Amino acid sequence: MKILIVEDEAKIGEYLRQGLAEAGFVVDLARSGLDGQHLAMTGSYDLLILDVMLPDIDGWRILQSLREAGNKVPILFLTARDSVDDRVKGLELGADDYLVKPFAFAELLARVRTLLRRGTVPVMETMIQVADLELDLMRRRVSRAGRRIPLTAKEFALLELLLRHRDEVLPRSLIASQVWDMNFDSDTNVIDVAIRRLRAKIDDDFEHKLIHTVRGMGYMLDSSGEA
């Protein structure tokens, strides 16, 4: 998945580029409206993250020119403005979503993933099943091969996150922010320990291992059925 960020504030742009790259995306960063517009028109991106206030042409102009050219790439606007008028204007012009600065990176990542998933039918899930592992979201119960596995609340949240993002590599920083509400730079040892405990409960007694370590990147729950 390839994402273009158009953001003139170097610090924010770099923060986003790094975070999204760590989350497994291929990221281009443009620091001006015209550069961004050129890249958006000529490159092939799955998603655009556009700042509204740019030094040359603003995010709205870029959006307009793309839509006029028939380009339907999903666009998430980032803006310091939060007035209703601005939001309405952006959405009327064809923006797909809006995020007001300052924002938490986890929030941005969640929006990005949602936009990228649009088109697949959203279903209210009460049960998640992968291989012989079942997660009952209503009763907060987990079982594997029909056997109940007691988990702590944190372990359940961790497993739910892994299952919801099955077959995606989840960086420790994302897991930290989603399950522990810790920030980006926190010590992530706690995650490794929790993963080890979770594995002991859901993987150790089974031949087919579901949770995998992706070295230097994070963790992944593999639904492919390969050992």
Residues making contact with Ca ion (CB under 5 A)? 8, 51, 53
Across the chain, the runs of DSSP E, i.e. the strands, are 2-6, 26-30, 47-51, 75-79, 97-100, 127-130, 133-136, 141-144, 147-148, 170-171, 211-214, 218-221
CB of residue 8 to Ca ion, shortest distance in Å: 5
CB of residue 41 to Ca ion, shortest distance in Å: 20
For Ca ion, the closer CB: 53 or 182: 53
Contact yes or no for 57/39 (Cβ under 8 A): no
For Ca ion, the closer CB: 16 or 159: 16
Which residue number has the CB closest to Ca ion?
53
For Ca ion, the closer CB: 51 or 155: 51
Contact yes or no for 17/35 (Cβ under 8 A): no
CB of residue 59 to Ca ion, shortest distance in Å: 9
Residues β-bridged to residue 220:
212
Interatomic CA distance for residues 219 and 166, integer angstroms? 10
For Ca ion, the closer CB: 108 or 210: 108
CB of residue 148 to Ca ion, shortest distance in Å: 52
Q: How many CB atoms lie within 10 A of CB 141?
A: 15
